[in-house]
Structure 1
């Protein structure tokens, strides 16, 4: 596996992968008010869908497959879905996902994952994937405001088409760890150096190629 430090818009390496799997900034402009200790309140590029749509566009252009290029992209019902979405998967967080609108008698307990393109494999199962989220605060081990559980990413990657996986918004590195656990090759890109260090630490002694690139202005 390889991890690049830089802006995915400026790097070509990840675009050669066969599958795109990423928790992209999708325009929710998330700002955490919880007591997260050392965690950042938000991430870069989350004010609109430009980062999400650009990544999908670059990936599709690289393979000349248009909307048939296989991808799994995280999102929310509050933001328009990516063009070419074929199915919506639901991540059931076992009742844990923040407070939501306090004037409503329901609290959010799921996130959406969009299936784009073709070539996915494996036995047919429910479109609801249940996985406990990572603890919400830094003192409990969380390292990124949008950190996804490795078990969830493994469940997604298990049904991806063969070939190299790309995650151009690697964040805490859960996608890379899940790919490693499943014996899949993966190329990751992360904009912030501190998260590149987090990923390297999480991967530990596993086979890992850290390609540190200078971030372009």
Structure 2
């Protein structure tokens, strides 16, 4: 991290970072470590979670724009979290929290069942080499964890600029009994709540189509 990011981590992490009890790996989450969102944020409010928040451009903008909603950024890269805290502090986004951990473990162990109103997965690592595609986040197992975390009627929003990953995402969610499509046709319209980032502009500039998908969590039996 840069000197500014190191300073941000030291000064701002007590306010923004949720400390996760670890299992084995440095970004793991120990089973049985569920937090109480009302205690973490100091109130009861809708909770939006972004997986792979990067440098935080989307979630800081959203948190600053929606003060009545709580936000959680999940990221494994500490420098990105530090950048997020710097921007959040500058924007006065006190409704944002961060966790440095593997997203599936956060969904399974850190967040209580049916605690999330919206779950965002914007431009996850496509692992575009054929031998690496098994490392992709959006799989049948991920769909089950997302369904566990979401409230009934909650939204799972996804976006990618890799066509074959978009097709995989759609196939996974079509097969997931806990979800129903919240759009008509092949793809969802662009989510208005996603700020246009340099990453998305770059993908469009080199000719990659941006694909959005949106799924609603079905009511539990």
Normalised by the length of structure 2, the TM-score is 0.39
Normalised by the length of structure 1, the TM-score is 0.40
Q: Which has the higher contact order (CA 8 A, sep 6+)?
A: 1
